[in-house]
Amino acid sequence: MSKQEDIMGEILKNLHQKERDKDVNEEEQNNYGEEYIAQLKSVCKSFLKKESLEVGQIVKWKENLKNRKLPHKNQPAIVIAILYQPVISTDKDAGTPYFLETLDIILGVIVENGTFLTFYYDSRRFEPY
């Protein structure tokens, strides 16, 4: 490796470290008051409340539980199948929200060009539309 490549590598390493330090410092300075605690409890309660969903039913994301790009926040989706043997996400990175996620429902949505697509989801994140 050339001296120039060594210098560039060191500069990039320092920039990445400064960004990580900045993110950690900002999070540590947040004061999580009663409003945050109340919202946390409310969202947890909503997540744990399993809705009785059926094939053909129109559903949407529960408030604050959207963890995927589609469907959009208030976009209706249709239940295609309910899996009695859930698929467990094979995402290998424990730092993602998809790590070992229980996927027990298949939903269909229509995207911009009119194409109908289906995706697997955790049904606890959805409610009737």
What is the reported pLDDT for 25?
A: 60
What is the reported pLDDT for 92?
A: 74
Question: What is the reported pTM?
Answer: 0.73
Where the chain has pLDDT below 50, the residues are none
What is the reported pLDDT for 91?
A: 73
User: What would the pLDDT profile of 41-64 be if each residue is shown by its tens digit?
Assistant: 999 999 999 899 999 999 999 999
Domain coordinates in residue numbering, the chain: 3-30, 50-128
Nearest to 121, CA basis, from 59, 63, 36: 59
**Token pair in block for residue 33:** 């008051």
What is the reported pLDDT for 11?
A: 72
What is the reported pLDDT for 29?
A: 67
What is the reported pLDDT for 117?
A: 97
